[in-house]
Amino acid sequence: MGEGSVSPLGEKVRQKLTVDESTLLDDHLDRLSRFIGLTADGKVVFKVDKGALTQRHLILLYAIGKYLAHEAGYAKEPYVTVEELMDELGFDIRVVSARCSELKREGLLVSPERGKYRALIRPAIEKVLAELRETSR
């Protein structure tokens, strides 16, 4: 087989297993939009009662929202700070630090520098949506 040519098996693999990333992300964004929205100045707004969500889900949704606000050109930075999470979610520093450390250990957040966290977007979205789907049953 020459460069660029595909075997019959390779062709079947392409037909059956190739996915369009943008279609997958569209579905995730549609589902996320039930929980959060973004303002033009980069704020993350919850569309559901925050009291119905766990600390973990609030922090993860907020971090996802901040990353997406950056991608949309609404926010300068794709990360959240501990202070921002405390102010916006009403948690004390111990809660924010503990939950962010847990989410970081799970591979859902990264910390580019002390006190700043960024969502690893695809795993974070998939995880939070799966967990929220489970709790809504």
Tell me what percent of the residues of the chain surpass a pLDDT of 90: 77
pLDDT of residue 4: 67
Domains and CATH numbers, the chain: 8-135 (1.10.10.10)
Please choose, from the candidates 136, 57, 134, the residue with its C-alpha nearest in 3D space to the C-alpha of residue 103.
57
Residue with tokens 């693999």: 13
* pLDDT tens string 28-46: 999 999 999 999 999 999 9
* Per-residue buried b or exposed e for 45-63, using 16+ beta carbons within 10 Å of the residue's own CB: ebeeeeeebebbbbbbbbb
User: What length does the chain have?
Assistant: 137
- The span from the CA of 42 to the CA of 15, in Å, is 40
Report whether pLDDT(75) > 90.
yes
Name the burial class of residue 89, with classes exposed (0-12), middle (13-18) and buried (19+) by CB atoms within 10 angstroms of its CB.
buried
